[in-house]
Amino acid sequence: MKRYPLLAACAAAALLPFPAAAQMMPGMSMPMPAPAPKAKPRIHPKAAPKKTTRPRPAASAPGAPAPAMEAMPGMDHPAPEAQAEPQSPPAAPPATMPAMPGMDMPASAPPAPDHATHAPEAMPAMPGMDMPASAPPAPDHAAHAPEAMPAMPGMAMSPGGGAYGEGSGTARVPANEGAMHGIDLSTGGWALMLHGYAWGAYTHQGGPRGDKEAFVQSMAMLTAAHDLGSGAHLQLRSMLSLDALMGAKGYPNLFATGETADGTTHIIDRQHPHDLFMELAGRIDVDIGKGSSLFLYGGPVAEPALGPSAFMHRASAQYLPLAPITHHWFDSTHISFGVITAGVSTPHWQLEGSAFRGREPDQHRWDIETPKLDSWSVRATWTPSPAWALQVSHGRIESPEQLEPDLDEARTTASVQYAKGGLSTIVAFSAKKKLPGRTLTAWLAEANWDIDRHHSIFGRAENVANDELFPNIADPLHDRAFRVSKFEGGYAYRLKLPGPFGLALGGALAAYAKPAALDAAYGNAPVSYTLFAKLSLGH
Ligand SMILES: [Cu+2]
């Protein structure tokens, strides 16, 4: 594996049109199996072949029952010799699979690919199969195609036949964003997956209100999936963060507001830290045929069906080092203490409703707060193809803010995510109506482009009406809504470390547009920059 030690040299090399090797996937976020469209030939070059051939933990989720794959006819002779070629060049895209040289399965010829079918039926057509590295050469396997199939590293069935990927909570993202990978284990009928990152950054936020600080964001996620039989699948999920080590006030982020550091003052121009327990949840899916399921999700710490997938689980935000300033318009409910979601999941649609606790996490970041179910939300998601995920959602949130307990909130969001060929994007809108009070709207656009195996560029544009920038009631600007915009862009150089580890080194630059009334507080034209090193376990 080549490594380029000089970041500067590689920044220049970014202009060269490398073929997309797609070694590093976007999609830190999806606990579901890899979809086909983006080949990942070298995800685990050093990993034991057996591990790489295991279905991902979430493979027990709807449409991708892992045990069903193991039980597939003709798959009872894994061919170890065919597993160990992770450095081979990517094979043909999955669509060519039925025509694979030497594959001759007339007796079991499947119906035409149907993304609505379950894994066992869909397997021969392999709509969601990722077989980049070791498509068996024809001479060795001409008469043994079925045996060769389980030997394909990285083979993974996607939920819904590859029609969508899984984001945070029960949110969907485009299947093309790829699956989350990490350390995969299988034991006693359970498929386990560990994934995470530690992300060191130094940010210098511009203008009189901007702070400078170094900080570390972190996240570790462990999922365990198990087939309960009779078409029922169980997934247990935990997500932890040591964000709180950065301090109660979080990190500097101009125009970001929300939550509190001490229980008495608002966090303003900073992003609050996340709680130790970001998710402790379970999900049960019961198959109802045609790749569809009824599901129940929830737990003491979980994410209700409201808004798009949270920013740390969007491929479009994977190298954006700071939280969106619109976080409390789109995805601030991603840590809710007490959630129950019920829904119906089909390959192309998901309809769901949640009951959850509306209050945002308090300043005590290490505990689990008392669960309640005082708020509700509904969400409809459409995933018409592996490139798209569209959702609309509405929620009624009871007393979300600790420091404004008399205010409720009605939040409506809509988002469109598109991902293809290393490009991941989202465009989203939110209207947040304070009850009683005004409606504050926000726009968000994000994009990340993994140009090749080393170089990524990314950006985010946000526009939001915020009335929390001046909390002091004696301030003449107090309680006025100001519409501000933030534009951020950056670059990341990615390199593969031994094993499942990866490192991204990069930086981002941000500028703002705002009303002149804010010049005294924020300066005429603040500019912010952030440098970072993101160490990932899996990706
Ligand atoms: Cu958050």
pLDDT, one tens digit per residue, over 407-448 is 999 999 999 999 999 999 999 999 999 999 999 999 999 999
Interval 199-215 mean pLDDT: 97
Chain Cα centroid distance, residue 360: 21
Alpha-carbon separation of residue 137 from 129, 144, 154, 275, 324 (angstroms): 18, 11, 17, 50, 47
Beta bridge partners of 418: 388, 425
| pLDDT exceeds cutoff 60 at 139 | no
Rg of the chain, C-alpha, whole Å: 23
Interval 11-38 mean pLDDT: 33
Interval 272-278 mean pLDDT: 95
Residue with the bigger pLDDT between 514 and 52: it is 514
Q: What is the pLDDT of residues 491-513, one digit of tens each?
A: 999 999 998 899 999 999 999 99
- In this prediction, residue 206 has a pLDDT band, given cuts at 50, 70 and 90, of very high
Cα atoms found within 13 Å of the Cα of residue 71, Cβ hemisphere only: 10
Tell me how many helices (H) and strands (E) the chain has: 8, 21
Q: How far is the CA of 259 from the centre of ligand 1 (A)?
A: 10
- Exposed, middle or buried, 368 (CB in 10 Å: 0-12/13-18/19+)? middle
Q: How far is the CA of 84 from the centre of ligand 1 (A)?
A: 40
User: Residue 11's pLDDT is what?
Assistant: 33
Q: How far is the CA of 535 from the centre of ligand 1 (A)?
A: 20
**DSSP per-residue codes, 147-200:** HHGGG-TT--PPGGGGT-EE-STT-EE-GGG----SEEEEETTEEEEEEEEEEE
| pLDDT exceeds cutoff 80 at 536 | yes
Q: What percent of the chain has pLDDT over 90?
A: 66
- Exposed, middle or buried, 488 (CB in 10 Å: 0-12/13-18/19+)? buried
- Per residue, the 3-state secondary structure of 313-328, as one string, reads HCHHHCCCCCCCCCHH
What φ, ψ does residue 83 adopt, rounded to 5°?
-90, -20
Q: How far is the CA of 467 from the centre of ligand 1 (A)?
A: 19
Chain Cα centroid distance, residue 326: 17
- In this prediction, residue 539 has a pLDDT band, given cuts at 50, 70 and 90, of low
> How many CB atoms are closer than 10 A to CB 22?
22
Q: How far is the CA of 211 from the centre of ligand 1 (A)?
A: 20
| pLDDT exceeds cutoff 50 at 247 | yes
Q: How far is the CA of 244 from the centre of ligand 1 (A)?
A: 12
User: Residue 335's pLDDT is what?
Assistant: 97
Of 327, 25, 296, which is closest to residue 170 (Cα–Cα)?
296
Threshold 0.75, pTM exceeds: no
- In this prediction, residue 38 has a pLDDT band, given cuts at 50, 70 and 90, of very low
Rounded distance between C-alpha atoms, residue 178 and residue 62, angstroms = 17
User: Residue 20's pLDDT is what?
Assistant: 30
Q: What is the pLDDT of residues 125-138, one digit of tens each?
A: 333 333 333 333 33
| pLDDT exceeds cutoff 90 at 109 | no
Q: How far is the CA of 313 from the centre of ligand 1 (A)?
A: 11
Rounded distance between C-alpha atoms, residue 452 and residue 191, angstroms = 31
- In this prediction, residue 178 has a pLDDT band, given cuts at 50, 70 and 90, of confident
Q: How far is the CA of 449 from the centre of ligand 1 (A)?
A: 24
User: Residue 160's pLDDT is what?
Assistant: 65
Rounded distance between C-alpha atoms, residue 58 and residue 32, angstroms = 5
Q: How far is the CA of 322 from the centre of ligand 1 (A)?
A: 11
| pLDDT exceeds cutoff 50 at 152 | no
Alpha-carbon separation of residue 82 from 28, 97, 104, 130, 391 (angstroms): 28, 16, 18, 15, 41
Alpha-carbon separation of residue 475 from 258, 402, 434, 469, 470 (angstroms): 19, 21, 21, 10, 7
Q: How far is the CA of 2 from the centre of ligand 1 (A)?
A: 36
Interval 104-123 mean pLDDT: 37
- Least confident range from 77-81, 219-223, 339-343, 373-377: namely 77-81
Q: What is the pLDDT of residues 455-491, one digit of tens each?
A: 999 999 999 999 999 999 999 999 999 999 999 999 9
- In this prediction, residue 162 has a pLDDT band, given cuts at 50, 70 and 90, of confident
Q: What is the pLDDT of residues 284-340, one digit of tens each?
A: 999 999 999 999 999 999 999 999 999 999 999 999 999 999 999 999 999 999 999
User: Residue 163's pLDDT is what?
Assistant: 87
Domains defined for the chain, CATH in brackets: 162-537 (2.40.160.10)
Indicate if the alpha-carbon torsion angle 449, 506, 279, 332 is positive or negative.
negative
- In this prediction, residue 274 has a pLDDT band, given cuts at 50, 70 and 90, of very high
Q: How far is the CA of 317 from the centre of ligand 1 (A)?
A: 13
Average pLDDT, the chain: 78
Tokens representing residue 505 in the block = 């080194």
| pLDDT exceeds cutoff 60 at 72 | no
- In this prediction, residue 66 has a pLDDT band, given cuts at 50, 70 and 90, of very low
Q: How far is the CA of 327 from the centre of ligand 1 (A)?
A: 7
Interval 16-38 mean pLDDT: 34
> How many CB atoms are closer than 10 A to CB 473?
7
Q: How far is the CA of 278 from the centre of ligand 1 (A)?
A: 9
Q: How far is the CA of 252 from the centre of ligand 1 (A)?
A: 14
- In this prediction, residue 182 has a pLDDT band, given cuts at 50, 70 and 90, of confident
Rounded distance between C-alpha atoms, residue 234 and residue 489, angstroms = 40
User: Residue 159's pLDDT is what?
Assistant: 63
